Structure 1
Amino acid sequence: MQRFDEMAMPGSAVLFQILFTFLCAYIKSTEAVPKKYDMVAVIDVGTAYSGYAFSTSPDDVQNPENIVLGQWKEGLKTHKVPTSVLYNNDLSFYKFGYEAENTYEDARTECSNCKTFVLFRHIKLNLYNTKLDRQVTITDVSGKIQKPLIDVMADTINYLISQLRQKSAEHGVNNNGDIKWVLTVPSIWSDQAKQLMREATLKKIELEVDIVLSYEPEAAVIALKHMQKEFFQSGVKYMVIDAGGGMIDIVVHEVQDDGTLREVVASSGGDWGGTRVNDAFESLVETSVGKETFDQFKADYIKDYFGLMAAFEYKKRMISKNKPDIVLDIPDSLIEIIKKPTGTGENSQLIVDGKGLTLTEEIVFSLFSQSIKNITNHVSKLVQEPKVKDVSTIVMVGGYSQCHLLVNAIQNISADVQVIVPNDTAYVLKGAVIYGWNISMISERVCKYTYAMPVFGQSGLNEEFVIWVNKGTAVKIDDCLKKKIRNLKLQSYPIFSLYASTEEECLKGKDCQKIGSIIPKEQYSPGDMHKDMRLDICFGGTEIQADVLVLHTGRYLGADCDFLGLA
């Protein structure tokens, strides 16, 4: 049992305690001298596409063009690869990316006696708005086979790491040196999702590694700030909309006098990304030809199905008000299916002319309508908030930001705001590398949740919650909140339950859910029985961090934050 309070102590005891705690803090601070790294390496797992980047010199912060990006498909300048993970029939890892998709297509369409494979796609979508633990499973593209999400993510990250190491070795990098690993994640992800990414990484590489998470929209603007400095003068407020395949991730920053970036309001967004439009297109075709027929098409002609969706993905970025129609070259297999009567009465929605499939302006706009409506409604409300009204610039990054319809919709929200869509599609990767060299570039963030802990009374029952930080509170990235804990006859170190709420209060039984635990690392020492402790929690980073101090000895126990074990 633990109780938070401010304890009265005799004057000499107070003085001793202050001096002793100060000494311990000083010793701890000297242990945190910035480390020199041989390389900063970034792993960027996206919903549709993934990639990596690395840098061997902190000078690349000022020269982002020197950052090395991954490259796939020989002869094509693409720094991303499809997030497609292929497994053997026994669910052992086989291939990733283009090779995974091509192998799966060939095995399904060109050889009835070939070896069978299992393919997973869009795995990142499963980490948002999902109750996560280490056993959560995802389903393959056939809808029949499941595998633990953390294992599929681990294989994805491991593949990207292996490619990065191979590329860095070609550049003469010592892969056995000190490396800071940076994982990019949406800023709107839960604490559980972020921990799953970290643990997935640790499943495949050495335990003693330095890993930091970088928020994707923050990374994008960090790169842009270094490459287009004229837009980011002191005092400027701007909004970043990271519109990817799965997520719409939005942050609002203000540039400080020292050049750092301060978050103005808590990050926000939703799962309204480009895959929603793809899903709407697929649903249209399915409705028009009949679900059973379309399912058969996907099963018998998987290569044609992937080709159709890839063609639509490319074409949707070219759509504008002046060129709203889409004409897709489609395979013979689908043409024959479309031409067959289905009895649904809806085939007229799809116009087939030769080998082309025409989607009229009305149909095209309907495919985008729900996704764009969700985004514009959210942004419209956001720009009306008092702290956001004076935003002068909206920066749009991510693959979906290449869609003219979405950009036009954002431009129409306010005539007073400049909308910038950078041509460079590698801003997240480059910015994450820069962040890896200097994480202090973000000076302050705003809490998305109210965090609290239960307080136990003499009865041993949870009597109330003590709030640590309220939703909407600005927190410096290097500041930790500290509370004393009166240790009441415990024969072990307490495990602290952490609760969170989307409301400003955290009331028992209302809008306040347990999300995890803070667990002291060191073994219990009998000499600490009945002794008071101090719990330190840092909420300003990309991950919650904590530590426990035994006050009478000044010994830090360390602490693990576990958001996947018990929530």
Structure 2
Amino acid sequence: MKNPRLTKILLVGGFADSRCIQEAVRKGFPSNKVIVPHEADLCIIKGAIPQSNMVLEDENGKTLLAETVFEKAISALIKEFVESMNISGIHLRPDEVRWVITVPAIWSEAAKQFMRKCAYLAGIPDNQLIIALEPEAVSIYCQNIPSRDIDIGGDAITVFKEGTQHMVVDLGDRTVDIAVHEKIGKGFLSEIHHARFDDCGGHSVNTSLVEEFRKIFGKHLVDDLEQNHPLQFFDIHREFEAVKKVYDPFEKSRMEMRLPYVFLNTICQNMNQNDFEQMIRKSEHGDKIIMDKDYISMDPSFVNEQLFEPTAKRICELISQIICKVNNSRLTQIILVGGFADSKYIQEAIRTKFPNKKVIVPENANLSVLKGAVMFGHSPHLISHRVSRFTYGTEVSALFDNEKHDQKRKDIVDGEKRCTGVFGILTTAGTVLERDTTIERTYSTVQKYQRSIDLSIFMSTKENPMYIDEEECSKIGNFHLKLKQPTEEKRSVQVTVVFGNTELKVRAVDKKSGEKCDVSFELPLF
């Protein structure tokens, strides 16, 4: 249904900066203005628990419902795919396609359910959608890549031997996501350490360049450029992005990038009463930076120490922390993937820091997630075990215990002393879960002809939380269990919570009739 008030589409996520994706959305929705928010791919990560009424805001303060943004973006990609297939002479029925959406492994269950809902609104049925975790997709892809496609020797077709453990380091533009897997035979993989991330991706090198520009030209000038001249500011970032990826510290050659010199020189003269080159020469690094017509040339020592080294240190520290936690000699390989994995500087920094680990960089490392996701779509059972990132549970009313329960939470229910708001644990953080691990609970209606039961799911970073409203706890959302034949008498529903997959799932059966309940998920409202 068309809505005349829907005039703008905001693109967020790791692919939001892709010109191809932007163009596809613009082509699919020519009457809507397409906006790419600042730090697009951190929008969901920073908002770890998405809400049904969550809005996204761009740099100019324009907002739109996040649900609408993602729905429109997915719709555009579906349309582009169908058109591409038709042009190729391949005509598919809608029910012949299995769709796979990849998400960072550090996303919460609520974020995954949010993506599933957006995909459903975009026209993808639930039973035709698989959510894939990016590090897992990489591991699956790397199991069967030819040795010629990686930067290590050997004639084996498969990279890993049974029993070996490997670390996947996804070097994205904004974040670095790391997970550890073990090959357990017959192509199966087991998660050894749940994913962790830090915002030290490739863009942090860009941030270092901007900070150096602030020192050279003044904070007020760079801030003015960023806020009032976003196109020129974006062009500088894009130019640096291109030279950053091909920069090779071994060649010890200067890094050169093109700048809009006339434009920048005019701003410098107006705001600083100095021209662009004069300010460079007067700066702390004036002997290492040269302006030659429209090109700025930077000495390797400046590029290495001021731009790349801070980011490389943070990445290596994150890897070190996880290696120490795993503490296993079988962890022998580090796989670098993602757009920033092509950086020779980062590759060398990791090899130098971890000389006893084999560092693997697949060819076209930025496509590893995509290719692995296709393989996962065909064989989602290949990841046999996963480590629970959080403790999951439901709200229960437990028998009151004077020794451990808070007196303020005491309540009398049917003549019994009960403690309200207790965290009823389903599984604890750090637990190794086999795929399709099920935990069953029974819940009952409390009213006559009650048509549904709402099951609230909570998560906590603590191993054994006591209450659902502790600081470390948060509500994922509600699973709405709809009874098909409500009656006057109380009905018991057997609820099965399924763990060990890329998503948490809930099934429910009316115990008296044996009928399955319709289950839907609702994000929390705040």
Same-fold call, TM cutoff 0.5? yes
Q: How far is the alpha carbon of 1:299 from its aligned partner?
A: 6.7
SS at match of 1:135: coil
Say whether residues 1:398 and 2:338 are aligned partners.
yes
SS at match of 1:192: helix
Q: How far is the alpha carbon of 1:363 from its aligned partner?
A: 5.2
Q: How far is the alpha carbon of 1:271 from its aligned partner?
A: 2.5
Asked whether the equivalents of residues 182 and 432 of structure 1 are also in contact (C-alpha less than 8 Å), the reply is yes
Taking structure 2 as the reference length, the TM-score comes to: 0.80
Partner of residue 536 from structure 1, selected from 496, 500, 506: 496
Q: How far is the alpha carbon of 1:160 from its aligned partner?
A: 1.9
Matches within 5 A, 1:215-294: 215-228=133-146, 229-294=157-222
Aligned to 1:200: 118
Q: How far is the alpha carbon of 1:371 from its aligned partner?
A: 3.1
Partner of residue 397 from structure 2, selected from 425, 439, 456: 456
Query: 1 CA distance for matches of 2:126 and 2:54?
Result: 26
Matches within 5 A, 1:460-539: 462=420, 464-485=422-443, 492=450, 493-508=452-467, 509-510=469-470, 511-523=472-484, 525-526=486-487, 529-539=489-499
SS at match of 1:385: helix
**RMSD over aligned Cα, in angstroms?**
3.1
Aligned to 1:442: 383
Residue type at the aligned position of 1:393: Q
Query: 2 CA distance for matches of 1:295 and 1:433?
Result: 42
Query: 2 CA distance for matches of 1:171 and 1:318?
Result: 34
Describe the shift of the 1:485–1:138 C-alpha distance in structure 2 as closer, same or farther (beyond 3 A).
closer
> 1:346-384 CA deviation, whole Å, 9 max, x = no partner?
752564232221334235533334433332111101112
Say whether residues 1:407 and 2:347 are aligned partners.
yes
Unaligned runs of 5+ in 1: 1-43, 51-79, 96-117
Asked whether the equivalents of residues 221 and 271 of structure 2 are also in contact (C-alpha less than 8 Å), the reply is no
Say whether residues 1:359 and 2:308 are aligned partners.
no
Asked whether the equivalents of residues 479 and 538 of structure 1 are also in contact (C-alpha less than 8 Å), the reply is yes
Residue type at the aligned position of 1:305: F
> 1:192-217 CA deviation, whole Å, 9 max, x = no partner?
22222222222322556611111112
Residue type at the aligned position of 1:520: L
SS at match of 2:137: helix
Residue type at the aligned position of 1:183: I
Query: 1 CA distance for matches of 2:55 and 2:211?
Result: 25
Aligned to 1:76: none
Asked whether the equivalents of residues 521 and 559 of structure 1 are also in contact (C-alpha less than 8 Å), the reply is yes
**Greater shift in the superposed pair: 512-521 or 129-138:** 129-138
Say whether residues 1:166 and 2:83 are aligned partners.
yes
Q: Greater relative contact order (Cα 8 A, min sep 6): structure 1 or 2? A: 1
Query: 2 CA distance for matches of 1:171 and 1:389?
Result: 49
SS at match of 1:231: coil
Asked whether the equivalents of residues 500 and 513 of structure 1 are also in contact (C-alpha less than 8 Å), the reply is yes
Residue type at the aligned position of 2:72: D
Residue type at the aligned position of 2:313: K
Aligned to 2:403: none
Matches within 5 A, 1:19-418: 46-47=14-15, 49=17, 81=20, 92-94=31-33, 118-120=35-37, 122-130=39-47, 131-141=49-59, 143-178=60-95, 179-205=97-123, 207=125, 210-228=128-146, 229-297=157-225, 302-322=230-250, 323=252, 325-331=254-260, 332-338=262-268, 342=272, 347=280, 348=283, 349=285, 351-360=290-299, 361-362=301-302, 364-386=304-326, 388-418=328-358
Asked whether the equivalents of residues 83 and 121 of structure 1 are also in contact (C-alpha less than 8 Å), the reply is no
Q: How far is the alpha carbon of 1:294 from its aligned partner?
A: 3.6
SS at match of 1:273: coil
Asked whether the equivalents of residues 335 and 352 of structure 1 are also in contact (C-alpha less than 8 Å), the reply is no
Aligned to 1:433: 374
Describe the shift of the 1:177–1:443 C-alpha distance in structure 2 as closer, same or farther (beyond 3 A).
same
Q: How far is the alpha carbon of 1:302 from its aligned partner?
A: 4.8
Query: 2 CA distance for matches of 1:83 and 1:226?
Result: 32
Q: How far is the alpha carbon of 1:87 from its aligned partner?
A: 7.3
Asked whether the equivalents of residues 154 and 201 of structure 1 are also in contact (C-alpha less than 8 Å), the reply is yes
Asked whether the equivalents of residues 24 and 77 of structure 2 are also in contact (C-alpha less than 8 Å), the reply is no
SS at match of 1:317: helix
Q: How far is the alpha carbon of 1:264 from its aligned partner?
A: 1.0
Query: 1 CA distance for matches of 2:198 and 2:55?
Result: 22
SS at match of 1:526: coil
Residue type at the aligned position of 1:561: F
Q: How far is the alpha carbon of 1:267 from its aligned partner?
A: 1.5
Q: How far is the alpha carbon of 1:124 from its aligned partner?
A: 2.5
SS at match of 2:353: coil
